[in-house]
Amino acid sequence: MTPLRQRMLEDMAIRNLAENTRAAYVQQVVAFARYFHRPPEVLGPEEIRAYQVYLTETRMLAPSSVSVATGALRFLYKVTLKRPWSVDEIPMPKRPFRLPVILSREEVMHFLDSVGNFKHRAILMSAYAAGLRVSEATHLKVIDIDSQRMMLRVDQGKGRKDRYVMLSPRLLDTLREYWKAARPTHWLFPGDLPDQPITRDAVGQACQKAHRASGIAKPITPHSLRHAFATHLLESGTDVRTIQILLGHRSLATTSRYLKVATTSVCATTSPFDLLPKVEPPPPTPTPPAHF
């Protein structure tokens, strides 16, 4: 390991960046250096700009992927290398705003019924019933289930924050049946290695398999269940601030995007066209007689 990589890892550890973020940033810096066949210490704004053009126009990566590379390079040159030039010289690509595709309640139920494996069904049910990210669902522990207070503890969710979410009585019944069958001791959903939780990839593959079996045309990922959770709460009258706390969003603006997909509060609103006085249609134009 080079001294620069070691120092960058230490800088990320000091700032308590998530493990996935650390791995992604290191990977991006390595790819940047390999592209120029030179160490990052001797590269600067012009090379960074050329690399962004390469990622955008040659590799045609999505803005989200370019953003990861940009974030890694900003961290490297601002924090680790402490370059005097501003990181504003490394522009962050603007991401297009896309609304999530929302499953109806009936589609969620049909999808979950299509999950054949009991453990996979239990974890996907948990994702919907509590609005969990897939990483949060996979890292649930047996002790995180508080049946006395009817709460689930989310330990170190995104942003390294703990939070509590509701424990659905229906989910509790399912988890109790699952526990009796599987007898997990530490991780609620252990992986192939008993001392490790189930992986995100395993949950994703189970989700794809159930999606194919369900025949639902809409795209479905584990995160789709979290989107459905938030939207269905909003449609049932839960206020946005409460949903923000349940989802663990830092910003209320992030949660407010669900206002755009909650059909009962948006699409069900009466159009002003329906409130206009009824206008009688104009009389039909008489057809001129035919000439021979």
Residue whose C-alpha is closest to residue 182's, from 250, 92, 117? 117
Active site residue 223: yes
Active site residue 258: yes
Active site residue 249: yes
Residue listed under structure tokens 């390595």: 30
Active site residue: 119, 120, 121, 249, which one? 249
Active site residue: 22, 226, 227, 232, which one? 226
Taking phi first (over 0 means left), then psi (-120 to 50 degrees means alpha), and beta for anything else, what does residue 242 get? alpha
Active site residue: 22, 121, 133, 139, which one? 133
Contacts 24+ apart (CB under 8 A), 87-94: 89/45, 89/48, 90/45, 90/48, 90/52, 91/52, 92/67, 93/52, 93/56, 93/63, 93/66, 93/67, 94/63
Alpha-carbon span 11 to 29, nearest angstrom? 14
Active site residue: 158, 200, 209, 257, which one? 158
Active site residue 133: yes
Active site residues: 133, 158, 223, 226, 249, 258
